[in-house]
Structure 1
Amino acid sequence: MKFFEALKSFNSLRAFIFKSQSVIRDYQLFQLEILDVYLA
């Protein structure tokens, strides 16, 4: 039973990491767009 609880928390942690990575990637793309606007 403990194994399944650990697995569930691991999966939610992995999902959280994946989501935060995509947020970081979106933020970096946003910064690039701002740079393009300033340089244009």
Structure 2
Amino acid sequence: MNMKVVIKKKMEELLSKEFYCSPNELNGKSTVYTVNFNTKQPYI
């Protein structure tokens, strides 16, 4: 399984639990969210 697919599914699971909705509702017309796959090492 592609890592991007795994991350997207985990984000959908997290958001659906947080906002008490189904993953299908997250992908509706009026709902907008993005998953940024470009990460950088944090620095201080």
- TM category (shorter chain) comes to 0.3 to 0.5
Which structure shows the bigger proportion of residues in helix conformation?
1
- Normalising by structure 2, we get a TM-score of 0.41
Structure with the bigger RCO (C-alpha within 8 Å, sep 6+) is 2
Q: Which has the larger radius of gyration?
A: 1
- Normalising by structure 1, we get a TM-score of 0.45
